[in-house]
Every structure is written in structure tokens, then in C-alpha cells.
Structure 1
Amino acid sequence: MNNSPVVKEYSKDDQAQVVDLILHIQQQEYNIQITKDDQPDLFTIEDFYQTGSGNFWVALYDDKIVGTISLLDIGNHQVALRKMFVDKEYRGGKFKTSSLLLNTAIKWAREKSIKEVYLGTTPQFLAAHRFYEKNGFTGIGLKDLPENFPVLQVDKKFYKYLVD
């Protein structure tokens, strides 16, 4: 058995596990009042994320999806990092799931000649804030986002990453 998850591109077979993982983290762990109906993109991942310079990945551990990440093509050689979620049991240094997912997305962005990665997150995701900052993301204000960045209602904290 491999000690770390394997990251692969999303396929339709992954949908049920992706939805379950994301909703569990949002609703149960962080008590965010958001439903699957509030996130129609979770049911059209191929059409929504896997177009242009965008993509969606899952982290698998023994055939169980333990993490997700996506890049949404917002044009102008820019992407929005979305849907980064990791099962509580697979966070941290033991499995390095978050780093595996983020490194996969950044490598993809570099290969697609993306210049900047933007993301929005909620104030309660403090560990996520530290993770992004540790990995080269810089905090920015709402006014510093590109006009085509899709701001979500729950997002109050924003970051930018310059792809080299």
C-alpha cells in the first residue's frame, strides 16, 4: 500500500465521492450553510472546469477520494483555484495531500502558460490561509481581483499566486 495519495484528473465516475467529500467538509466540519444545490458546478465538472486551461483533480487513497482541487479558466492567462478540499484524516505532513494537489495544479498552470492563479476562501479556513501563504500565495483585496474572477458569496479572503 502506497503511503501517499495519488492525484489524477477527475472523471465522471468520481462525481458522487467528490460531492460527498466537499459537502461533508463544508457542512459538518466547518458548519457552512451551503448545499449541493448552491454548487451546480459539482454536477457539471467536465463542462465547467475541464475546459480551456482549466482542470479538476482528485486525490485517491485506496480508491477513496480524499481530496480535490480545480483550476477554472477565467481568461487572460489567469485561473481561479477552486474546490480545494482534503479529508481531515489526510491533511498535514503524514500524507501531504494538499501539497500533492496544489503542486499538480501549479505544474498544470505552468504547462498551460498561466500567469496568475487567484483564489477566494472563507475566513474560518485558517489552516488553509497558512497553507496558501506558506506555498507562495499573497493576500490581496477584493478590488485587486481580475474583473472576470467569480467571487463566491462565502469568500471574504483572497489570494494571488504568480506562476513563474
Structure 2
Amino acid sequence: MTQAFNIQTLNNTYSAQVVELILPIQQVEHNIPVTLEDQPDLLNIEGFYQQGGGQFWGAFKDRELLGTVALINIGHHAGAIRKMFVKKEYRGKELAVAQRLLETLLDYCRRQGITDIYLGTVEVLKAAQRFYERNGFTRVAKTELPPYFPLVHVDTLFFHLHLAAS
């Protein structure tokens, strides 16, 4: 049973939908101690992600936001993945919402000459960790992160993927 959805870039007009998707996943579902005040980027997608050469994407079925992923261009041919969240009922391999969001981000990175991708996550998100590992990311120690990687105070685990130049 495949349900069609599309992926598109998001801007500030989608901020309310992004907040409505992400905050309950963080706070209620996973009990991560983070607030909207801790994430001003959610209210300034254009300024935080797009002005610096990154991007923010959303997966939609009709007008419902199913999932998001964002990229911060951190210079040095590197990027940081942020805001990878999918509604619970749309997770998994069958619909592949997360997979398509990640592939969209990686295609963008290749086109922009970004060859090193980093991300931080938290211990409790086991399925996310497996997802990144299945997609070629390797776990790295915090001390192995480049100095220009923007740390998020709640992140405790870190991953890296090197994309071959195309």
C-alpha cells in the first residue's frame, strides 16, 4: 500500500506547521527537554537555513506535513542535518518518507559541492540511529567533529557521512 506524497522546500510561511509537527515528537513522544524558545530557527527558516546556502524540506500528502529535514551549510564543503522528523504514522520502510527526505537532502548536497555531512541526535532515538547507519553514516565521537559544526545542547551522539564527489 503506497501512498503518494511530495517533497518541497519550505519557507517561513510553513513555520507553524513545522512547529506543530516537531515539538510534539520531541517533547511528548520522546521526552526531550527542548522548547520552541530553544529552536528559533523553526520560526525563521529562510534566515537560518536558506540564506547561508542550506535548505529546509517538507514531505506533504495533500496539505498535511508528514515530515521534515533541514540542512545548514557550515562551510568547508560540509553540512549539518537538522530537524529530521516524521509523524509516527508515516514512519517506516513501506512509505519511505524519511528515506525520500534524506535522498532529497543528499542530492542537494551533491549539487552544492557539500561532501561531508554531520548530524547530532540523542540516545533515545534508536530507530533514527539505525536509519542513519543504514544510509552509510558512521558514528563519530564529539571530539572528532570539526570545530565549525554547530552543536545542539541536547545532542549526545554524532554521525558523519562522506559523499564522493560527483
TM-score tier after normalising by the smaller chain length: over 0.9
Partner of residue 6, structure 1: 6
Residue identity in the other structure for 2:35: T
Offset of residue 90 of structure 1:
0.5
- String of CA shifts for 1:128-162, please: whole Å, max 9, x gaps: 00000000101100011110111111101000011
Confirm or deny that 1:41 pairs with 2:20: no
The amino acid across from 2:104 in the alignment is T
For the aligned residue pairs, the C-alpha RMSD in angstroms reads: 1.1
1:14: how far off? 1.3
Q: TM-score, normalised by structure 1?
A: 0.96
Query: Mapping of 1:143-158 within 5 angstroms?
Result: 143-158=143-158
Q: How many residues are paired up? A: 163
CA distance in 1, matches of 2:25, 2:5: 18
SS in structure 2 at match of 1:95: coil
Q: Partner residue of 1:28?
A: 28
Q: Deviations over 1:101-120 (max 9, x none)?
A: 00000000000011100000
Q: Which runs of 5+ in 2 are unaligned?
A: none
Deviation sequence 1:7-62 (CA, Å, 0-9, x none): 10002221111011000100110011211011111111101001233100001012
Q: Which residue of 1 aligns with 2:138?
A: 138
Counterpart amino acid of 1:151? Answer: L
Runs of 4+ in 1 over 3 A off after TM superposition: none
- Measure, in 2, the Cα distance between the counterparts of 1:33 and 1:133: 25
SS at 2:3's partner residue?
coil
Identity of counterpart residues, as a percentage? 45
Q: TM-score of the superposition, structure 2-length normalised?
A: 0.95
